[in-house]
Every structure is written in C-alpha cells, then in structure tokens.
Structure 1
Amino acid sequence: MKKQVATLVLALAAAVPAFAAPETFVADSTHTFSRFSYSHFGFTTQLSRFNKNSGKVVFDKAAKTGSVDITIDTKSVDTGYDTFNEHIQGEDFLDTGKYPTAHFKSTKVIFEGDKPAKIEGNLTLKGVTKPVTLTVTSFLAMPHPMLKKDAIGANAYTVVKRSEFNAGKYAPHVGDDVRIDVTLEAIKD
C-alpha cells in the first residue's frame, strides 16, 4: 500500500506544471538608451538621446507579469552639439541643475501572448509625475550569446507633451509633442 501511495504522489507531482518564478534583469548601460524627438519649427524632426540610463526589469513569463524601473541621467543629454546640450539642460527645458534624473516606474505590464505589448506607468520629469503608456515594438528573452547569461531586450516608445512637464518654452513652434524611445538590454541578476 505504501508503495502505491508513493507512486501516486510521484505521479501527481510530475503532472503539476512547473511555475517559473519572477526573474530580475539589470539594464546593461552600454546597450540601454533613451532617445527623444520633436519637431523643430516644422523644418526637421530633431533626434537626441541620453547616454546614461540604469534600471531593472522583473519578468515572469509563466505568470505573464512584470515590472520596469528605469532612471535616466538627464545631464547625459546628447544632441550632437555641446552648446545645445547646455541649452537643453537649462531651466526652460530639463533644468538638470535641479532635476538631474528622470524616472519611469511601471504600474502594469500588458501581455499579448507570451510577450509584453504595453507598459503602463508613471514618468517623472522635471519634478512632475504623469501617467504614460509605453508601446513595446519588440521583445526578446533568451540566453545572451556572448555573456552566456539569460537576457532580455526590448524597444518601446511613448509620446508626451513637454508643456505638461514644465518644459514648454517655444511651443508650439518647437513641437510640444515629444516622442521618447527606449532601447533596453538587461542581463539576469
């Protein structure tokens, strides 16, 4: 009888699917960047980026849950022109002397199938926090071919009105709508 009970317990244990635990991934600062773009008097779409970003992602593929926490060093703004970098860091725009970072913290990750499709959260920029939704355009989870560790990668974007973050000087001539793109590669902690 004991043998039959033991066999039954083992059979039941084998039948219960294994659940993956949430895994934490740390942003690879050499492959994680935030970019922003806006209309410059209608002549062009200006493209700039922040060179220093950090953060972490918690991802549970089985439960289809996750969280994202990203910090952007706004003093690392790179427009391609030093004088303009200083201008963007001034009080009328990023005011990096007072607000040296921007921060995004998710409140909900929405999955389509096995992949995140949208990430709802709060963006804090220049001391103002507003809800935003990042649209995920690509996502991949796999072992990193060079580091031999589990990794994830994603591209996502949102559009904000800079005037809502007290950075609206010259709007509407210089576009009030700013697209923020995030490219993220993160390695399992």
Structure 2
Amino acid sequence: MNLVTAENETDIGNFTAVTSKVSGTVIFDPAARTGSADLTVNGASLSSRVPLRDGHMRSADWFNFDTMPAITFKSTRVQYVSGDNHRVTGTLTMNGVTRTVTSTARVKLTPANDLTRASRIAGDALAVSVGFSVKLSDFGVKGSWLELCPTGNALRP
C-alpha cells in the first residue's frame, strides 16, 4: 500500500491529512545501495477527516489543489548512509513551483518469502519511509509549515 501523510503545524492548530492516491516508480538496487524515485501524489485527495477544512485546503486560498492537484517528487541523487538509511535529494513540485529537497530515507527490502506471498505480494517488497519539511511560502502556498511524509511501501515484482 502507498500512503502519504501531510502534517501541518502552526501556533493555532495542528492536523494530519492522508491519501493513498500515490503513483509512480521507486527503484532500489540493494547491491549498489542506490535507487531512484519518480512519484506523484494527488493533493486534492488528501483528507484530514474534516470536510470543511479539506475543502479549504484544496482552494486557491491555501494549497490550490483544485487547480493544481499534483505534488511530484523526482530523485536526483540517492546516497547510502548506513544500515537502512539513504540520503535522498530530488525535486519537489507543488502549486507549480519546483524546489530541491534533501532528507534521509529508510529503505527496507524484503525478498519474496512465504509471508510476502501470503500477503499477495508478487515478488520482493520494498518499504520506503521519508519526510520532507518544507516552507509553504517557498511553493507559493499561503500558510506556515507543511511536512510531506511519503511512507509508501512500493512493491516491486
């Protein structure tokens, strides 16, 4: 399952919104300890479980997802750090603005086994967890800070 959470933290309130509308490709080479990602999140599908807030989030007054729903991330460099940790750099595009972001990703490859097959996973399972803290105004979005935390489990056959 692919899952993205967006956490908004301000002086007047915090909330978390979630979506499973994630598409794209994550590639990982365990021997070389590197890989790549090209992902798109449908920002208009983010749900905080408060319909009034969700409508406001999608509007031009905030994230502008009604007009530009795509949030994209394309890696430009993946560098092994230690254990399951990799330094990931790439371009994040939101609201029509692209910025370079860097963070540490946890990458866990589970080779196909009885448990993965019982879970209906065709082949190896790749779990990737990474968070990017970004300043909304850097993306032309009104508000304060947003943390996009893709925690997708991209499955590779």
TM-score range for the pair, normalised by the shorter chain length: 0.7 to 0.9
Picking from 68, 78, 86, the partner of 1:109 is 78
Is 1:39 aligned with 2:13? no
Aligned to 1:187: 155
Partners in 2 of 1:81 and 1:139 — Cα distance? 32
Is 1:156 aligned with 2:124? no
Residue identity opposite 1:88 in structure 2 = M
> Where do residues 1-150 of structure 1 align in structure 2 (5 Å cutoff)?
31-40=1-10, 42-113=11-82, 115-136=84-105, 138-142=106-110, 143=112, 144-145=116-117, 146=119, 147-150=121-124
Aligned to 1:177: 145
Query: CA 1:186–1:155 in structure 2 vs 1: closer, same or farther (change >3 Å)?
Result: same
% identical aligned pairs: 26
Q: Secondary structure at the match of 2:142?
A: coil
How many residues matched? 151
Partners in 1 of 2:71 and 2:147 — Cα distance? 15
Displacement of 1:114 = 5.9
Partners in 1 of 2:156 and 2:142 — Cα distance? 39
Q: CA RMSD in A?
A: 1.7
**Which has the larger displacement, 67-76 or 53-62?**
53-62
Displacement of 1:51 = 3.2
Q: Secondary structure at the match of 1:131?
A: strand
Displacement of 1:131 = 0.4
Structure 1 unaligned runs (5+)? Answer: 1-30, 170-175
Q: Secondary structure at the match of 1:188?
A: coil
TM-score under structure 2 normalisation?
0.87
Q: Secondary structure at the match of 1:186?
A: coil
Partners in 2 of 1:105 and 1:165 — Cα distance? 16
Quick check: 2:85–2:104 contact (8 Å CA) kept in 1?
A: no
Q: Secondary structure at the match of 1:87?
A: helix
Partners in 1 of 2:104 and 2:8 — Cα distance? 18
Query: CA 1:74–1:178 in structure 2 vs 1: closer, same or farther (change >3 Å)?
Result: same
**Which runs of at least 4 in structure 1 moved beyond 3 Å after TM superposition?**
113-116
Larger radius of gyration: 1
Structure 2 unaligned runs (5+)? Answer: none
Displacement of 1:36 = 1.4
Aligned to 1:19: none
